[in-house]
Each structure stands twice: as structure tokens, then as C-alpha cells.
Amino acid sequence: MDLSKIKLVAADMDGTLLNARHELSRDFYRVFDKIKAKGLLFAAASGRQFFNLLNKFDTIQEDVIFIAENGSYVVYKGEDILVQAMEPAIVKEQLLVAKHIPDVYTILCGKKRAYIENETPRFIENVQMYYDRYEVVDDLSKVEDDQFLKIALCDLAGSEANSYNFFRQKQDELQVKISGSIWLDLSHLLANKGTAIEVLQKKFGISFEETMVFGDYLNDLEMIQKAGFSYAMENAHPDIKKAARFLTRSNEEDGVTVVLLEMLSSMNGQS
């Protein structure tokens, strides 16, 4: 296994690069500096909002590629590389369905900010964890002055058992992704982390064999399929473990950093 040819590294955030407290590894920035010095590109690929990711990597934001909203929005050095927005009519149709699902709270994810209708404390706690810019509105269906990248459903009854059943039949029209135990994401049919990786590969002249990715949940599946070096975390969903070529330690054991140090070692004989 030759890791020395890697040119692009992309890592999911929650359950992958971040621990259970949503923190980066203590060694991450040291390793990142070495990756940057080698001329490698690093992408943070997440269902999180762009502004949230920007703040997570505050001190190195000019050097990180941001794959936000599950691949609907890709930004590098302040440049929009990909904006895969949903059609307003489709958005309104899905909002209407979501409105009648028990135990579900809806986040309309715009390019400018996120929008919510409800301020229930448990819901707001989840909103603030992933969305740094949001606005409370009276009616999500009346929001117009934005591009809508995703509809995120915070499903306190469990996304796989509850809200997914209301949208599974829409999978030929939309991306319908179970992105966490209480999260279901709806986005443009062409929007996923795998498409984002393909866009980056084409833009920077990077091949499948020169790409390394890390993931843990179902919204990482397409990304896993676009890299010669695909890693599932030890804590990953069984379907991700099945799809990935390799397995690394859990997010609690800094599994991403461990592999990156191996990669650096193969490049220069030292970590």
C-alpha cells in the first residue's frame, strides 16, 4: 500500500475527524502543517453549515477546502467552487411533508444562513451545534431571498425509523440521506460529498488513486466510492465499513490522524 502519492485528503467531521465532544485532535494542527508543507490539499467534508466549518478551522481557514451541507456547497480561499441549490418549488413541497411528521424539526439551509420556525430548547441546542448563522422565521415556505442547499430534519424519534420513511420514495428526485441518528438531509439529486470530490479532482488534476477520504456515516458513502484510499472509522455504520477499502481507529482514538501520520511517514521516512 503506497500512501506517498496522495494529493487530496478529505475527512468527514462528526464521528470522524471530531471526537464525541466535537473537538479536533490535539495533534491535528501539527499534522495539518506537515500536510500543507507537502503541498497536499485538505478538505473538511460535512453536513455542517459552511459558516460553522469556517469557525471550526478559524486559524487555517484559508488553507482548507470546505465541502459543506453534504456536498451542496464547496468553497476554497473564499471562492465558490460548487453551489448545488434546490429548486424553490421542490423545497416548498418537502417542507410541507416535513411539517406533518411527528417529533421532527426542520432547518432550511440557505447559502446566506439557516432558517428555523421553532425554538424548542432541545432543538435549538442541536441547531447551534452545527449552524453558526441562523434566523427564526414565522413560515419557512415564505423564505425567498436565498439559495437553498439542503433541508435538514432534526428527528428526535430517530431518522432511520421515522422521517426516512416519509421520503424514501423521493430518492429518484432528491438526495435523501440519513446523516446521523437524529438527522435526515434532503438536497439536490446531484448533491453529495462524492460529487464534490469529483469536482475537486477535476479542478486540481487529481486522480482517484491520489485521493484519500475518511467517513463514518451514510452521507459519506459516495465520497468513500471516489477515492483509491477510502477509510471507514472503527465506529462507522456497517454499510460504510463494507464500502471502504480500509479501516482505521475510531474518532475517539484519532483514527484520521493515525493514518495521516502513516502517509507522511511514507512520503519522507518520518512522521
Residues designated as active site: 12
Q: What does the DSSP 8-state code read for residue 86? A: P
The Cα–Cα gap between 223 and 268 comes to: 27
Q: Strand runs (DSSP E) across the chain, as ranges? A: 8-12, 41-45, 64-68, 73-76, 79-83, 104-110, 114-116, 134-136, 148-155, 174-180, 183-188, 211-215, 229-233, 246-248
Residue 97's region, left for phi above 0, alpha for psi from -120 to 50, else beta, is alpha
Report the SS3 class of residue 7: coil
The Cα–Cα gap between 258 and 214 comes to: 12
The Cα–Cα gap between 156 and 98 comes to: 13
Q: How would you classify the pairing of strands 64-68 and 183-188?
A: unpaired
Residue 190 vs residues 43, 91, 124, 175: alpha-carbon distances, Å: 19, 15, 29, 7
